[in-house]
Amino acid sequence: MYESQSTQLNRLGNQHFSRGFYTDAYYCYARALEADRQSGDQRALAMTLGNLGNICAVSGRRQQAQTHYHEVLEIQKILGDDRGISTTLANLGNLSADAGEWDRAQAYYLEALDLMNDHADYAGKAVLLSDLGLIARETNQFELALQYYQESLTLMRRVDNQEGQADVFRMMARLYLAQQRYDEAIACTQTSLAMAERLHDELRMGGAWYILASCHEAQGLWHEAIQYLERVVKVDQKYHLPKLQENTTRLNNLHKRVTTIESQHSL
């Protein structure tokens, strides 16, 4: 079966993306974009622009991501692609959430949710409910956040989204951490970590280790926090993640704190 150059490049880009190799993924998507501009295939163009938006979003290039998503949205409206529109609205909501613009993010999410309900898009709705849970958590609506997460988990299991379940358990852990419910936070994180390990997903493993580091640091268990944060920094280094410097600084500060405490005890 014939595959266009754009399809091949997007597939290769997706493979790099899934492995955390964002620079390689971006290169593939950029080449696919050139091919789509030349061919004039609007559906292919929308897919490529969406992928470019995603790669820009995860690598901290928010303005570029926003530009790509808005162009995607205009194409999808012309094509009458409601399912695609709901995904793009959710992506725009994610950008707003990353910037702490909770009201704007919620507006995007709720508009996307209406479309997903119309089309019985359970897979998309499962992710969107977890996003709404994030907003509820960040605005201190903890009970509402937990309801969203539980609804999301139910749908994640229904569509057999293992990666999504790992993400939701990690989000629930953050919720419990914010409430200083450390045992529950650690239990949820361990569940998320076990799922990530079965999936051989180092990026999700790194996310779980980060929360475990935070849980132990909050309880004054410095050595345990350092062990987990060292693993996080290794993942940051391997995949050139944007929080490498921040996490390295945090790790160095923890080492200094332990050294200071041990020096005081030896006096």
- Domain holding 97, by residue range, is 82-152
What is the number of structural domains in the chain? 2
Q: What is the CATH number of the domain that holds 50?
A: 1.25.40.10
Answer yes or no: do 108 and 119 share one domain.
yes
* pLDDT of the residue at 1: 60
152, 172, 196 - which closes a domain: 152
Same domain, 93 and 131: yes
pLDDT at 241: 86
Looking at the fold, whether 61 and 7 belong to one and the same domain comes out as yes
Q: Digits of tens for pLDDT over the chain (267 positions)?
A: 668 899 999 999 999 998 888 999 999 999 999 999 999 999 999 999 999 999 999 988 999 999 999 999 999 999 999 999 999 999 999 999 999 999 999 999 999 999 999 999 999 999 999 999 999 999 999 999 999 999 999 999 999 999 999 999 999 999 999 999 999 999 999 999 999 999 999 999 999 999 999 999 999 999 999 999 999 999 999 988 889 999 999 999 999 999 998 888 776
- Do 30 and 72 sit in the same domain of this protein? yes
- Does the residue 21 lie in any domain? yes
Say whether both 72 and 134 belong to one domain.
Answer: no
Whether residue 92 sits in one domain with residue 39:
no
Q: Are residues 7 and 36 in the same domain?
A: yes
Task: Kindly state whether residue 15 falls inside one of the protein's structural domains.
Answer: yes
Does a structural domain hold residue 33? Answer: yes
Residue 249 lies in a domain: no
Question: What's the confidence (pLDDT) of residue 2?
Answer: 65
- Does residue 141 lie in a domain region? yes
Non-local (6+) Cβ contacts of 260 within 8 A are none
Could you say which of 120, 137, 152 is where a domain stops? 152
Residue 242 falls inside a structural domain: no
Residue 123 lies in a domain: yes
Are 123 and 86 found together in one domain? yes
CB-CB contact of 14 with 25 (8 Å) = yes
Q: Which of 59, 80, 101 is the last residue of a domain?
A: 80
